[in-house]
Structure 1
Amino acid sequence: MFTERVQSRAAKREATRLRVLSSAERLFREQGFGSSTIRQIATDAEVSTGTVMSVGDKDALLVAIFDTWIAAVHHGREAGHGRDEATPLPPAAAARKVLDLVEPFISYFALDLELSREYAAVIVRGTHESEVFQALAGALLSELESLLARTPLTATGAGAGARTLYFAYLGILMTVGNGALDQRGAISQFQEVIQFVVDREGTQR
């Protein structure tokens, strides 16, 4: 009985957190990050300002919005993980699959450049930690390495290639967030990095 009550309270807290994040995202996108207030978010979510602040200040809410969406993409992929993981991949097919992994995130950042710019600024300030650079980083690195392991790259090459792609991905996301690259340019530049990595099989033997 006690465990059920604890689980019920935890589920209620999570539902409230998601409602706050949903209201915050809608207001941030509709009227801008700078123009939105904690009070407005509380009113929209039908909670107190204290409840909103228990989820986080505006910067923390913004980071959580991005992290929650990115995490959902990763969790969705886990459901289908393992179906073809042993099938060898020629470089061209591997490059396409790597781009398929990363393209949703580039597109998400390009969806609202103003909000992405605010997110990038929060990350650069270092006042709020993002799961994108922690648990979600591990998830993406693992996905990338699993893909590259199916190419002619050696195990060492696959690990190094995954790290190269991951850091290129972070740099491109931040560049898109700063408005220096549009979606098409970002995808084009990441394709160049992918090609550089997957075409190295000839030097890995």
Structure 2
Amino acid sequence: MFSEHVQSRSEQQAATRQKVLAAAEQLFRTQGFKATTIRQIAAEANVSTGTVMAVGGKDTLLVSIFDTWITSVHNDRHTELAPSTTTATTEDVLKLFVPFVGYFALDPELSREYTAILVRGNHESVIFRDLALALLAELETVLARSPLPRSQVGPGARTIYLAYLGLLMTASSGAITMPDAADQLRQTIDFVIAQPNGKQ
């Protein structure tokens, strides 16, 4: 009886959190991050402002929205990265990043706010911890099928990952366009895979 009560309470908290995040995302995207207030998010989610603040302030909500979506992409990809005998190409590696680049390009202003929050360093994001490890593992899985020698797979994955983060931050700041960032990432992947010591 007690465990059922705890479980339903935990499920209720998770459902409330999702409702708050959905309301925040909808408002952030329709009227802008800066124009949206906690009071508006509470009204949209049909909860109190205290309930919204229990989930987090605006910065925390935005980081959670992005991190939740990015986490779902990685979770959905476990089955897509099944072992293959075909040699991996630059395009195979680039496919790992397509959902993320597309998501950031969806709303450049919101993406800028997200990266600005991360750069300020006041809010932790799973993209630098758990999700970094997940993406590195995915990169290594694909690069293991490329002409890169086994000893270079790990360093190659880290090089591509760091280039991706840098380009994403640069594009989100508006310094370059997302298509340009994607093209530069393709060039980086080409460079890593086509190194002389990577040729068989």
TM-score bracket relative to the smaller structure: over 0.9
Q: Report the counterpart of residue 120 of structure 1 in structure 2.
A: 115
Is the deviation greater in 113-122 or in 93-102?
93-102
Counterpart in the other structure of 1:64: 64
Residue 49 of structure 1 corresponds to 49
- 2:80 is aligned to 80
TM-score if structure 2 supplies the norm length? 0.95
- Work out whether 1:203 is the aligned partner of 2:188: no
* Structure 1 residue 38 corresponds to structure 2 residue 38: yes
Partners in 2 of 1:124 and 1:86 — Cα distance?
38
Q: Does 1:111 align with 2:106?
A: yes
Q: Pick from 173, 181, 186 the counterpart of residue 181 of structure 2.
A: 186
Report the Cα offset of residue 10 of structure 1. Answer: 1.5
Structure 2 counterpart SS, 1:33 = coil
Shift, 1:43, TM fit? 0.4
Deviation at 1:88, TM superposition (A): 4.1
5+ residue gaps in structure 2? none
Q: Which moved more, 1:29-38 or 1:147-156?
A: 147-156
Give the structure 1 partner of residue 138 of structure 2: 143
Residue 17 of structure 2: aligned partner: 17
1: CA distance, partners of 2:112 / 2:189: 25
Q: Deviations over 1:137-190 (max 9, x none)?
A: 110000001111112222220000000011011011111110112121111110
**Secondary structure at the counterpart of residue 169 of structure 1:** helix
The 2-side partners of 1:142 and 1:98 are apart by 12
SS in 2 for 1:105: helix
> How many matched pairs?
199
Tell me which amino acid in the other structure corresponds to 2:197.
Answer: T
Match of residue 94, structure 2, among 99, 102, 118: 99
The percent of aligned pairs where both chains have the same amino acid is 55
RMSD of the alignment, in Å?
1.3
AA of the residue aligned to 2:191: F
* Unpaired runs of at least 5, structure 1: none
State how far apart, in whole Å, the 1-side matches of 2:89 and 2:6 are: 45
